[in-house]
Chains A and B, each alone.
Chain A
Amino acid sequence: MSTEEQKDLELKNAEKPEPAISRRYFLAGAACVSAATAVSLSPLLNAEEVPSTDDFIQKHYKQLSDEDKKEIFAKLEARIDKQYGVTATISDPQPIEGVEFAYVLNLGRCIGCRKCVYACMEENNQSRSPQKQYIRVLKMKQGTVNLETSSHDYPEKEASSEDHFYMPVACQQCREPKCIEVCPVKATWKEKDGIVVVDYNWCIGCRYCEAACPYHARRFNFAKPQIPTEDLNPDMGYLSNRPRYMGVMEKCTFCLHKTRRGEYPACMEVCPTGSRKFGNLRDPKSEVRKIIEQERVFVLKQEAGTLPKFYYTFAK
């Protein structure tokens, strides 16, 4: 069609004397589209989690004053009371001067019973449905440390097999954590005592940190976390085991609400074989320090350049 013809056609269109009808059509069309949009949005009425205005405008953890924190903790406690009927206390223990936590795990002793996995889940109020676990125990063939041939979902009766060894892996609390670098909003950071934490109220849920972690240590709440009331641990830390939201990241925090008070992390307390050792790396007399100095230890995926503070050893 030439330009001339097109112009003719357009003039013809323009001459059609039907502005009123086209307006009526237009209004009807607009009404239909608006109604369809409203219907499309209707699933939002059943939203499982709707942030309150306070939640929405809450600032980054590091920008909160002590007053703000007090108010927020009280509000959270009230909300937990309402939702679960449990009187919880939310604490916010700060890193202790001169303390840097480290973990040592003796692969020569671990029998792969996965007691640590469940103790961790109970201590840290992870979602039970769908189940979130911070620790993953790899069943490895003797004579290799090839992760790709390891078994992740071995049945319970396959624990303590003679021709295998077991390697529990959780957050390695790296000195150079890649997860922190990639976070677009600094919702995750390394504390002074070396623990990498997440602000559950600041995370936008992009999961870039999950992609960047070489240890598959981060967990995302794809669904709204579900915990039966009787399973809720009321001793909560703001940056560790308080109930999480839908759509945010979480991870192992070395049970900071316990360890910063001088207790041991739950995984270590429950271990029946004594494979797990936890302590202050900066204290020359600490058990972990002695093991690292005296035993032959290694870190997982050294080539990733993450400098973990989680050491493995094959001791008797």
Chain B
Amino acid sequence: MNKGSPGVISDLAKTILIGNRTYALWMFALIALSLLGLNAFSRQLAHGLYTTGMGDEVSWGLYISNFAFLVGMAAAAVMMVIPAYIFKDEEIHKVVIFTELWAIAALIMCLLFVTADIGRPDRLWHMFPVIGVFNWPMSMLTWDVLVLNGYLFLNLYVCGYVLYKKYKGQKLVARHYVPIVFLAIAWAPLIHTITAFLFQGLAARPFWHSGLIAPRFLASAFSAGPAFIILVFKIMEYFKCCTIHKDVIAKIRIIVTVSLLVNLLLFGSELFTELYSGSEHSIHLSFLLGFHGKSVLAPWIWSAVVLNIIAAIILLLPVRENPRFLNVACVMIVVGIWVEKGLGFVISGFIPTPLGDFVQYQPSLNELTVCFGILAFGLLIYTALLKIAVPIINGQLCHRKNDN
């Protein structure tokens, strides 16, 4: 990519480093938070996962919760790519790259969250094919490693190709990247399905052991991801980075609405099966909802349900045309689904333990700092990528100009 053209690197570096005051403050805050996260992670490396709130009872916590949520956010980019490339929607096509870049940032966060969760990151090489031992195809975790890295690679390729060609002022050659785009379309649902399989394949955890998990993961991702993209587009418009056609937002809004309704339907279906039968398996859900003794998760999950329902109502009423209401609904969806997937899904699977022990989980401050650090780092990467991509797509940053 940088074949004999130092101009590319200095162009990109300048674009990322120079910005107005808001941009500088935003980047400074993200860098500071990332470093705080790095500091907390160093402490965790030095003293072990004892620095987190996890234990043998609840052995996965906020790291894996965020991981599960962000895999969905990464997969959701496909909901923009499909209308852009399959239905040839011109307006969405113009901005689709911004969602593909989001997939890259989300995947990097996913990989960081997994690394943060591992007890011995120094031994990660044990997983590399050839030099390590890779338990494929038995372990769903190895599948997840393959599909996540594969999806990251596909998105890096497509974004890199499109941006570089536009920067160079050259024409895009369809056969050089469109096949990869279609491969990525097929690949995206896979990353979230396999992440769901990682959980739902475990008979030891009745709460996860349900065929509805993968569809629920997809539905919730296809509502939270595009809702986040709407917010990003609104912010980009606010800062006059680019103009987003009204139809684009309207179309994404429909995707968000349908997915949210499907998600609520699936959640309701699961709720009914578990609670109506009243079998022993329903203990996780009834505990989660606070029907079975005190649960610290109950207020969270109830707020998530309420947030999602209110958002659905807003999206179904004519008031959805009002940008302010739409923004509020989108924030509600992103927050609601983060709680539902993270706290409501991952952590509740551990309470009670397979031996019936009810142990509550409360993340430690250090653990929270690592989480915020990774999220800030992901946003830092996304902002930097957008800072480069926006002028290139708008035709303001290109190679020729540099030669003058």
Contacts and interface: CB of A to CB of B under 8 A. Distances in A.
A187 B142 CA distance: 13
Interface stretch (B42-50, B211-219, B247-255, B312-320): B42-50
Contacts of B394: 3, 6
B126 A216 contact: no
A205 B54 CA distance: 13
A1 B357 CA distance: 60
B132 interface: yes
A281 to B, nearest CB: 24
Contact of A204 (B42, B126, B352, B354): B126
A185 B46 contact: no
A105 to B, nearest CB: 15
Contacts of B32: 36
Contacts of B145: 184
B50 A222 contact: yes
B363 to A, nearest CB: 14
B204 A213 contact: yes
A213 B204 CA distance: 6
Contacts of B57: 216
A305 B56 contact: no
A268 interface: no
B171 interface: no
Nearest to A42: B42
A205 B355 contact: no
B46 A204 contact: no
Contact of A148 (B36, B46, B48, B352): B352
Given A206-B119, A207-B60, A215 B354 contact: yes
Nearest to A47: B46
Given A36-B35, A149-B356, A221 B133 contact: no
Contact of A222 (B49, B60, B353, B395): B49
Nearest to B36: A40
B38 A184 contact: no
A234 interface: no
B355 A220 contact: no
Given A26-B17, A205-B118, A41 B38 contact: yes
A44 interface: yes
A299 to B, nearest CB: 14
Contacts of A22: 18
Given A41-B42, A247-B48, A219 B56 contact: yes
B210 interface: no
B141 interface: yes
B339 interface: no
Contact of B49 (A149, A150, A182, A247): A247
Contacts of A181: 138-139
B39 interface: yes
A65 B397 CA distance: 59
A185 B129 CA distance: 10
Interface in A21-52: 22, 26, 29, 33, 36-37, 39-49, 51
Contacts of A146: 280, 356
B396 interface: yes
Given A13-B18, A221-B48, A304-B204, A6 B396 contact: yes
Contacts of A248: 119-120
A185 B42 contact: no
Contact of B127 (A36, A185, A249): A185
B120 A7 contact: no
Given A207-B119, A221-B48, A185 B54 contact: no
B362 interface: no
A217 to B, nearest CB: 9
Interface in A110-168: 130, 136, 138, 146-150, 152
B204 A178 contact: yes
Given A22-B18, A44-B45, A213 B118 contact: no
* A-B interface, 5 closest residue pairs, ranked by CB to CB distance from nearest: A205-B119, A247-B119, A147-B356, A223-B50, A214-B204
Given A184-B145, A203-B123, 7 more contacts: A146-B356, A150-B356, A178-B203, A208-B141, A213-B204, A222-B49, A222-B54
Interface of B: 17-18, 31-32, 35-36, 38-39, 42-43, 45-50, 52, 54-57, 59-60, 114, 117-124, 126-127, 132-135, 138-142, 145, 198, 201-205, 240, 280, 283, 349-350, 352-357, 391, 394-396
